[in-house]
Amino acid sequence: MPRARHLAAVPANQRATDEQERSWLRRRSPSGQSGEHPSPISHALKLRLYRGMLLSRRLDERLMALQRQGRVGFHVGHRGEEAAIIGAAAALREQDWLVPCYREFGALLMRGAPLCTYLDQMFGNAADTGHGRQMPDHFHSRAQRCLSVSAPIGTQIPHAVGLAYAARLKGRDDVALVFFGDGATSSNDFHAALNFAGVWGAPVVLACRNNGYAISLPSSQQTASKGFACKAAAYGVRGVEVDGNDVLAVYEATRDAREAAARGEGPTLLELVTYRLDAHSSSDDPRAYRSDEEVAAAAAREPIGRFKAHLLACGALSEAEDAQLQEAVDAEVRAALEAARAREKPALDTLFEDVYAETPWHLTLAAREAAQTARGGSAHTPEGSAD
């Protein structure tokens, strides 16, 4: 079945397959079979993608473990979705913008952010450029042209459209890549953003990670349409469905969408079809809404093993090199985690900064009041509460 894919088919149970109903999809023909991929993607780039995916996976595992030990407040990761995130981010150029949802720390790192930029935010420590104001995994980095993660679903999509359109108004060819989940396609802002993007022809790539779920709700409860890429058609936007577990397919589809946007050919909605292997977040227990069999079947198609098999087969990687790489990634993560954990809390003053560019009188007074109250208190748990 022709879709953007290189390595293996999109899992049939996740996709509707009626060819006729899907004829509006702009299809990309597969350029090869697993194992003998004739893609022009160089070995060096493939290894970069692979390392990005390994680093993300390792971080997810370590952060989830630290969360369980009470050392990290919260984690929302992307285990299983590495190909969708790393592949798309790698297709950006330096001048482009990344507009994340909340699972895309791997994309931030692919854009060259130091690991500490991310981990300091995870711990909300004094080195966090957000001064510990947001929950973990709500990062940003101006140096990497990565906007700031917001918790309300879908709100970042119109930002990306405005940002991209502003670039065009300024006569530049920067492109914005915005990530969101399948659940976000039900938000008002998704529709507003697609409509504005289409009407304006904004140079934006809209990447819907269809990981199968929005917390407990399966994709089929977000929409009655066949998938999400088709929604683009109603807004006069290109829609492309991509095997989101195939990092090369994601890379190529995003690269093409990026280039089209930069050429002035307007926006593309990518549907990256993948699967969320872990819980929605460290606060979720997915056993309440899906079966172990389903997860096991999805795990068999997970993107890292698949890509490793491809790298071995095409000679980009040997087992020995793989072991070395894994060890190097592990060591990097361990050292960065140790450093981030050791840092202090943000200073009390920072609580009152950045509300406005200049601190107004009422916040200066508030800061004085806070400083006079000794630090060290913590909230009391109410006794006899309902549960």
Partner 1 sequence: MMEMNMVQAINAGLHQEMGADPDVVVLGEDVGRVGGVFRVTQGLHDAFGEQRVIDTPLNESGILGTAIGMALYGLKPIPEIQFADFIYPGFDQLVSEAAKYRYRSGGEYSVPMVVRTPFGGGIKGGLYHSQSPEALFIHTAGLKVVCPSNPYDAKGLLRASLQDPDPVLFFEPKRVYRAVKMEVPEHAYEVPLSKAAVVREGSDVTVVAWGAMLYEALAAAEQVRGDDGLDVEVIDPRTLWPLDLDTVLESVRKTGRLVIVHEAPRACGFGAELVSLVCENAFVHLEAPPQRVTGFDTPFPYALEDDYLPLAHRIAPALRETARF
Ligand X SMILES: Cc1ncc(C[n+]2csc(CCOP(=O)(O)OP(=O)(O)O)c2C)c(N)n1
List interacting residues with ligand X (CB under 6 A).
Answer: 103, 151-153, 180-184, 209, 211, 213-215, 276, 280
Catalytic site includes residue 213: no
Could you report how far apart the first and last alpha carbons of the chain are, in Å?
51
* Residue of minimal Cβ distance to ligand X: 181
Catalytic site includes residue 50: no
Q: Decide the pairing of beta strands 97-99 and 204-210.
A: unpaired
Q: How far apart are CA 316 and CA 41, in angstroms?
A: 11
Q: Which of 31, 34, 150, 225 touches partner 1 by CB under 8 A?
A: 150
Q: Which amino acid makes up residue 243?
A: D
> Whose Cβ is closer to ligand X: residue 82's or residue 120's?
82
Q: Could you tell me the smallest distance in angstroms from the CB atom of residue 208 to ligand X? A: 8
Q: How far apart are CA 259 and CA 345, in angstroms?
A: 43
Rule CB under 8 A: which of 333-372 touch partner 1? 350, 353-357, 360-362
Query: Is residue 196 close enough to count as binding partner 1 by CB under 8 A?
Result: yes
Measure the CA dihedral 10/235/104/165, to 10°: 140
Q: How far apart are CA 96 and CA 129, in angstroms?
A: 21
Show the tokens assigned to 1: 């079945």
DSSP 3-state of 214: strand
Rule CB under 8 A: which of 57-116 touch partner 1? none
Interface pattern 172-191 for partner 1 (x via CB under 8 A): ----x-----------xx-x
> Whose Cβ is closer to ligand X: residue 165's or residue 179's?
179
Catalytic site includes residue 172: no
Give the range of 8-16, 80-88, 156-164, 280-288 binding partner 1 by CB under 8 A: 156-164
Q: Which amino acid makes up residue 190?
A: F
Contact between 84 and 33 under an 8 Å Cβ cutoff? The reply is no
**Catalytic-labelled residue, pool 140, 168, 238, 276:** 276
- The one-character DSSP state at 246 is -
**Which residues would be at the binding site for partner 1 (CB under 8 A)?**
128-131, 133-134, 138, 140-142, 147-148, 150, 152, 155, 157-167, 169-170, 176, 188-189, 191-193, 195-196, 199, 350, 353-357, 360-362
